[in-house]
Structure 1
Amino acid sequence: MSKKSKIILLLIGISVFTYLVMDFGIDNILTNLRKTGWYFIPVIGVWGFVYLFNTFAWRSIIHNSSKISFGKLLSITISGFALNYITPSVAVGGEPYRIAELQKPLGMSKAVSSTFLYTMIHFLSSFVFWILIILLALISLSLTSSLRILLIVALLAFLIIVYFFINRHKNGILESSLNIAIKIPFIKKIAIKYSDKTEKIKQVDHQIKELYLNRKYDFFSALLLEVVARIIASLENLFILKAIGIDITFSEALYINAVSSFVINLFFFMPLELGSREGGLVLVLKAIKISSPLGIYIGLVNRVRELFWIFVGLVLIASSGKTIGKNLTESVDYEKSTFV
């Protein structure tokens, strides 16, 4: 990534971060920090472990990790998720950054394919996580007939989605997706722009297929690590409620995480997850017979924790220029070189 691009990206990040802090309110942040007390440290720490597992998963996909250190990859992971959060609505700002940072050590096609694959596996892990939680609920909870039927339907739907994604990984996805996109009126013009990049797309598709067909261990290791990361993230809810004297089981923490994350993904178009996170938390707390207004409190602490990691991500982006040095000016501009 060029030095100019990094500066622009950093300024945008700082602007959005400042907006979030001011919109949330410094007094509000301090109030929630005081209420959470020392438990805010494990809340922050939980996500440190989550990002570690995310990085291990990504390293499994990259395979030849000797070209980039684990510390550098962890830094890109944290910064990428920070940029995803501050990107309004679609949360994909981190992907171009990841590709641009990886293109120097790995080459453009490998940078694109490994980033694309990680994004897909990260997305796929959501469904695997929800499937596991549904199975846990069906086995361990006393459910009404209507709720049991609803969960079974959701379980079948998620299994179909998981099958589709794994099958697409096996057969390649970019070229076939482009061929379909060219036939769709609203996105036809955009797709045609990339139709002359067929050879590059085939290269990336080959690397995507290679991961599943020839490196299944790496594929499923990355998927398992991502699912474990989501399980670890559930501890956050346990610590937040513990801070105000409410003890919940780890199973209940898993339910809270699963339902709230599902609602957030369902309303992915909401800028900065405004309302969707709190709505999901209120819904699940009511279901497990905990005071539903506490969902607002959990959501507020979640946002303070996110602000902390956004700040860390922006600091890492700013400091990365020192480690890359003169090579920054030699990097190929992302917008000119990539095709996704």
Structure 2
Amino acid sequence: MKKKYQNIFFVFGLVLLLLMLTQLDLSQVLAGLKRAGYWFGAAIVLWGVLYMLNSSAWYLIIKSGNNGKSDIKFWWLYKVTISGFALNYTTPSGLMGGEPYRIMALSPKIGPERASSSVILYAMTHIFSHFWYWLLSVIIFVACRPVNLFMGIMLACIAAFCILCLWLFLKGYKGGIAMKAMRILRHLPLIKKWARKYIESHKEQLDTIDHQIAALHSQSRNTLVSAVLLELLCRFLNSFEIFFILLVITPNVNFIDCVFILAFTSMFANMLFFLPLQLGGREGGFVMSAASLGLTAGAGIFVALIVRLRELIWTAIGLLLIKIKE
């Protein structure tokens, strides 16, 4: 990637990160870190491992698109993965920052079409695993917890929504999604003129990307299954972060409760995808999910604070990695 574009991504992300830091209460942050102690360090290390699994899923997709071979070094991809997520965290609407960065970083190595298709496929796989996680969380909740009428209706709606989205994603895997997405964009206000011009001038490239996505689905299903399983494993391992933090408050921590808290919070926060770092939505999700499982609102607020600090630290690391030479 050209140094000019690296600087643009770095400055853009840094400005948004600094704005987010101004929203924190320093005294509250210091008190939270003192209370969390070494468990905060455990959460930081955990996410270093989770990013390795994310990178592995993307690495499998890239290799599959090149007959199982790749000249790309895993640790370089690990760096790009962390930076991509950092830009996603700081960018309103989530995927508007990290994905273009990943495509531009990868294009000089494997070409723009293959770079675009691998990034789109990985983004699809990442989101696809979320719906599987939410659906499995519903099943686990029904198996482990008493369910009243209201809860049953809510869980049934969540399960139906997840199944519908999983079906739509499977259709996207089979037939490609790049051209379909651009056709949707051409009907949206403000960007429809740009989208129409882009389709006209890049129709061949979009068709090539969709062909590569469909070919990978039909020829390398084992790769896609492995990538989805790696991403799904990330979701469940992510629950250990909440487990570590709650150990500070009470020794009687149930890991299954942590799975439910993460499932509800991530679903609630993703409904507010237009907010950088899902500000406010993440905190509200933690408080409500903790309360629904019999924990105090204070416990939910404490978990939200520590998770927010961990996100900011890894976001800062990701932005710094943008400046490291390839």
Residue 135 of structure 1: how far off its partner (Å):
0.4
**Bigger CA drift: 130-139 or 11-20?**
11-20
> Does 2:80 correspond to 1:71?
no
CA contact (8 A) 1:67 1:106 kept: no
CA distance 1:179–1:306, change in 2 (3 Å)? closer
Separation in 2, partners of 1:73, 1:317: 12
CA distance 1:114–1:280, change in 2 (3 Å)? same
The code of the aligned residue for 2:246 comes to L
Alignment of 1:95-110 (within 5 A): 95-110=99-114
- The count of corresponding residues between Structure 1 and Structure 2 is 321
SS of residue in 2 equivalent to 1:66:
coil
CA distance 1:178–1:82, change in 2 (3 Å)? closer
Separation in 2, partners of 1:118, 1:94: 12
Choose from 266, 275, 291 the match for 2:271. Answer: 266
Residue 297 of structure 1: how far off its partner (Å):
1.1
> Does 2:255 correspond to 1:250?
yes
Identity %: 36
**Bigger CA drift: 128-137 or 165-174?**
165-174
SS of residue in 2 equivalent to 1:299:
helix
Alignment of 1:1-340 (within 5 A): 1-63=1-63, 64=66, 66-182=70-186, 187-196=191-200, 197-319=202-324, 321=325, 324=326
Residue 30 of structure 1: how far off its partner (Å):
2.0
Separation in 1, partners of 2:139, 2:97: 34
What is the alpha-carbon root mean square deviation over aligned residues? Answer: 1.7
Partner of 1:334: none
Residue 181 of structure 1: how far off its partner (Å):
4.5
1:65-121 per-residue CA deviation (whole Å, 9 max, x = no partner) reads 522111001100111101111113444211111111101111110111101111111
1:34-71 per-residue CA deviation (whole Å, 9 max, x = no partner) reads 11001111111111111111111111111145221110
SS of residue in 2 equivalent to 1:234:
helix
1:236-272 per-residue CA deviation (whole Å, 9 max, x = no partner) reads 0000010223432110010010000000011212333
Separation in 2, partners of 1:60, 1:119: 13
CA distance 1:140–1:41, change in 2 (3 Å)? same
**TM score, norm. by length of structure 1:** 0.90
CA distance 1:172–1:297, change in 2 (3 Å)? same
1:264-304 per-residue CA deviation (whole Å, 9 max, x = no partner) reads 01121233312111111111111110112321111110111
Separation in 1, partners of 2:248, 2:44: 14
SS of residue in 1 equivalent to 2:249:
coil
The code of the aligned residue for 1:9 comes to F
Separation in 2, partners of 1:12, 1:265: 22
**Bigger CA drift: 289-298 or 19-28?**
19-28
SS of residue in 2 equivalent to 1:203:
helix
Unpaired runs of 5+ in structure 2?
Answer: none
**Bigger CA drift: 277-286 or 190-199?**
190-199
Unpaired runs of 5+ in structure 1?
Answer: 325-340
**TM score, norm. by length of structure 2:** 0.93
Separation in 1, partners of 2:277, 2:53: 24
CA distance 1:2–1:179, change in 2 (3 Å)? same
Runs of 4+ in 1 over 6 A off after TM superposition: none
Separation in 2, partners of 1:180, 1:100: 23
Partner of 1:332: none
The code of the aligned residue for 2:321 comes to L
Residue 136 of structure 1: how far off its partner (Å):
0.3
CA contact (8 A) 1:61 1:222 kept: yes
Separation in 1, partners of 2:187, 2:13: 36
